[in-house]
């Protein structure tokens, strides 16, 4: 009897250990991940995005640029894909056909894909993004259209490749720090508050043998060290290159966060771009070498478009008088607005703004915001939801304007509303822009955390 009890106790103990082991294995093996990259370096000279001061197309290639995709399949079987790119941005008219095609070809619903751009100012103009900013001729537009069409094919292709590469993986997350970003609104306004985000979020994707397969990392800072005529990923390109060199076989994917009002300062030399790239890569490596927290599934997602209203729209008379302005940017903007008026009979009174939230089990909340988002949003959501398990990104899916907080909108200046001209938008946002976005985010976070 005693023996049998002992046997029973022994069996129960073994069973508990076995169950624990199964738990540990399934906890780390519940994911499948696939990663892929495609070279999107232009094959001919093309107008480069981001600066109105450039006067001609690119002259050469300093560094190859890439689009990269990470596909994640959780234990419910749902597949979700993050795309990163060394580009200024994906405007809505360029990303929309990509969403349609990946839905048709791979069955990916809209809310299970998000497209980020690093906001490098040393990559080709894509679609009509910032069109009033550049003095483009018909030949330039033709090259941009061809590059954009090929890019769309390449992004669909790299998503397919990442999905085909799905294999057992474990995910972990932690954040480091780096001090590259300076709040650029203080340049010319030293008295302004200078919030910046110095968090370096890192999502590591490892194979069952613990080798790294993908390193997803973020930072909130413009890629504007370089401003010449050579194609490159700027500092984020150098950071990704350094990480891929340190971890052969792994693909490094950079996600631009809410860095709309941050510049890497000082800037304007290749050496500085490389140094900042090394600095961010070193911050990521320190995170990878220390203890990271496991990230479990399921990956629950939610998506919403909210309407961001514009302030009072300009009248036809006002626009016609602007076409005689000495300022070429104002002239091109007015001409674009008049074309829209002629075509549609009115100017848009709002922009439909995409917000996406991904919830990884109880371990990580990933907020994906469209446009060039100022740092106030990230800091606001981190205060609301906590600093440790939240990643707030900008430059997602539709880069069509700066997204000022109420503070920045009221201060004015370039990010506050001035950049709407270069972006070809009819007027600045109304002062409730921050509250509308915050309500959208809050409702999505509640939805994904409830499930
Ligand atoms: Zn920008």
Nearest to 250 by CA among 203, 218, 200: 203
Per-residue pLDDT band for 1 (boundaries 50, 70, 90) equals: very low
Of the candidates 227, 288, 223, the one whose C-alpha atom is nearest the C-alpha of residue 252 is: 288
Q: At a CB cut-off of 8 Å and minimum separation 6, what does 276 contact?
A: 180, 225, 235, 238, 239, 264
Please tell me the distance between residue 54's alpha carbon and the centre of ligand 1 in angstroms. 15
Q: How confident is the model over 86-138, as pLDDT tens digits?
A: 999 999 999 999 999 999 999 999 999 999 999 999 999 999 999 999 999 99
Q: Which two tokens stand for residue 320?
A: 């016609």
* Protein residues with C-beta less than 5 angstroms from the ion ligand 1: 372
Beta partners for residue 403, in sequence order:
373
CA–CA separation, 84 and 217 (whole Å): 10
Give residue 29 CA to ligand 1 midpoint distance, Å: 39
Q: Where are the beta strands (DSSP E) in 269-427?
A: 293-295, 299-309, 350-360, 364-369, 372-373, 390-393, 402-403
Say yes or no to pLDDT of 2 above 90: no
Judged on CB neighbours under 10 Å (0-12, 13-18, 19+), 244 is middle
Q: Is the pLDDT of residue 416 over 70?
A: yes
Query: What is the rounded CA–CA span in Å between residue 70 and residue 207?
Result: 14
- Report CA(247)–ligand 1 centroid distance (Å): 30
* Residue carrying the six token digits 């993986």: 169
Distance 119 CA to ligand 1 centre (A): 7
pLDDT(8) > 90: no
Distance from the first to the final alpha carbon of the chain: 48
CA dist., res. 154 & res. 99, Å (int)? 13
Beta bridge partners of 31: 169
| Tens of pLDDT, residues 157-171 | 999 999 999 999 999
Q: Where are the domains of the chain?
A: 29-305+350-450, 314-344
pLDDT at position 7, please?
Answer: 42
Q: Are 326 and 262 in contact (CB under 8 A)?
A: no
User: pLDDT class for 22, splitting at 50, 70, 90?
Assistant: very low
Tell me what percent of the residues of the chain surpass a pLDDT of 90. 93
Q: How much distance in Å is there from the Cα of 20 to the middle of ligand 1?
A: 49
451 pLDDT band, cuts 50/70/90, is confident
Question: pLDDT at position 24, please?
Answer: 41
Tokens 């309407």 appear where?
307
What value does the mean pLDDT of the chain take? 94
Compute the distance from residue 419 Cα to the ligand 1 centre, in Å: 9
pLDDT in tens, 266-288: 999 999 999 999 999 999 999 99
Residue 373 Cα to ligand 1 middle (Å)? 9
Residue 92 CA to ligand 1 centre (angstroms):
16
Residue 187 has phi, psi (to 5 degrees) of: -70, 110
pLDDT at 17 over 80: no
pLDDT for 15 beyond 80: no
Question: What confidence tier does 395 reach under pLDDT thresholds 50, 70, 90?
Answer: very high
């Amino acid at each position: 009897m005693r023996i049998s009890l002992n046997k029973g106790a022994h069996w129960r103990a073994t069973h508990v250990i076995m169950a624990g082991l199964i738990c540990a294995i399934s906890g780390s093996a519940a994911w499948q991940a696939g990663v892929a990259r495609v070279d999107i370096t232009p094959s001919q000279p093309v107008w480069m995005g981001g600066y109105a001061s450039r006067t001609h197309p690119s002259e050469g290639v300093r560094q190859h640029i890439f689009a990269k995709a990470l596909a994640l399949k959780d234990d419910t079987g749902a597949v979700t894909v993050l795309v990163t790119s060394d580009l200024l941005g994906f405007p809505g008219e360029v990303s929309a056909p990509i969403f349609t095609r990946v839905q048709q070809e791979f069955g990916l619903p809209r809310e299970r894909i998000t497209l980020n751009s690093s906001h490098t100012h040393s990559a080709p103009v894509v679609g009509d993004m910032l069109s009033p900013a550049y003095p483009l001729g018909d030949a330039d537009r033709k090259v941009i259209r061809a590059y954009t069409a090929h890019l769309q094919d390449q992004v669909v292709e790299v998503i397919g490749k990442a999905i085909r590469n799905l294999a057992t993986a474990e995910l972990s997350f932690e954040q480091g720090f780096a001090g590259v970003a300076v709040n650029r609104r203080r340049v010319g306004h030293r008295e302004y508050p200078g919030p910046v985000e110095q968090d370096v979020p890192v999502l590591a994707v490892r194979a069952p043998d613990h080798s790294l397969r993908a390193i997803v990392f973020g930072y909130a800072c413009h890629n504007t060290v370089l401003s010449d005529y050579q194609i490159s990923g700027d500092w984020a390109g150098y950071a990704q290159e350094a990480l891929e060199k340190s971890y052969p076989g792994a693909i490094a994917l950079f996600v631009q966060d809410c860095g709309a009002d941050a510049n890497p300062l000082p800037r304007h030399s290749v050496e500085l771009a490389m140094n900042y790239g090394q600095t961010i890569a070193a911050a990521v490596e320190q995170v990878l070498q220390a203890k990271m927290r496991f990230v479990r599934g399921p990956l629950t997602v939610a998506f919403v478009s909210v309407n961001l209203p514009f302030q009072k729209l300009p009248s036809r008379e006002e626009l016609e008088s602007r076409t005689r302005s000495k300022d070429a940017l104002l002239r091109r903007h007015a001409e674009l607005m008049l074309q829209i008026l002629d075509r549609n009979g009115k100017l848009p009174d709002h922009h439909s703004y995409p917000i996406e939230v991904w919830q990884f089990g109880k371990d990580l909340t990933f907020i994906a915001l469209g446009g060039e988002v100022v740092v106030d949003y990230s800091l606001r959501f981190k205060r609301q939801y906590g600093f440790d398990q939240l990643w707030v990104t900008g430059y997602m899916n539709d880069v069509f304007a700066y997204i000022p907080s109420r503070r920045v909108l009221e201060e004015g200046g370039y990010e506050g509303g001035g950049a709407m001209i270069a972006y070809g938008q009819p007027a600045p946002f109304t002062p409730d822009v921050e509250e509308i976005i915050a309500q959208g985010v809050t409702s999505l976070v509640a939805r994904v955390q409830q499930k």
